[in-house]
Structure 1
């Protein structure tokens, strides 16, 4: 899998707002994940979000969480570079993308950009060893705010492609699963 990270912190760059008007805390209300518009459009995202936020269901494999989600979205990018995803032109006919804003669960990690950068580097290293073609993950470290404090978070962008819509949707599910596995592995290693 192709993966990379970067830091975007300036007056002009976006800030992750963990309590925007549509915020749903899936750590305390996992039962409403199915009501999220993004999950209704792409049901596998519901399982991904529950895994990230510490599922309460025994049906969903769980490892200790490092982050919780503040926001997510799905879209179809206008274009991609197939070479960046080890894809042929035929395999890049359909493209899907998802982002998830992640806030560190640990206050020390939330407050320390160097610590968050270290975790991002380890997540990316793990992803680069994951055999998932036609996909790419980009971790963007940026400022984040919660109700009580300012710190740092990660916007995780996942982009995939496929020869048709169904193949691209399956690739997105696989790539997001790999992202969660990488996050969980960094936490436990």
Structure 2
């Protein structure tokens, strides 16, 4: 699943309610693909419940269509798959997804570096914290290691450019992301940096 947050509909092709949802779901896919911030972090998926009965059983599906939201970074289970109970139209779906993405403050954060990050902005010995962070990152793997490298790069950049770099760079990236002019291939990387900058500034 990586960093993406799937939104899944479990349906049956012959179901009238499922059929009526198809145009809205197609419109949702188009809206997500046009929004760089969403397209880099959200996957819209549809599942045929007759063909994949085990998936419906896994998530405790009782009726059709059922719409589930699966959070990023967790192995999907019945317990963490959230039922969507809002309006069944593309506009309501997209607002739901935007709120989920915006509230995901843990995106790109590394728990093993949280103590170091919380001390960084106010520290008078940033070099020592960078050294500690490098040792910690060496022991990580997967996404945590990749994200840990981002922490180190931004920490080193702060030492190079000055303490106000964190605030200025975060504001710059957030402004660019809000314009919607950033190419989709760069949005995920910029969102990752924004989140890590927030961690280094002590933001929750």
TM interval, short-chain normalised: under 0.3
Larger strand share, 1 or 2: 1
TM-score (norm 1): 0.25
Higher relative contact order (Cα pairs below 8 Å, separated by 6+ residues): 1
Larger helix share, 1 or 2: 2
TM-score (norm 2): 0.23
Which has the higher Rg, Structure 1 or Structure 2?
Answer: 2
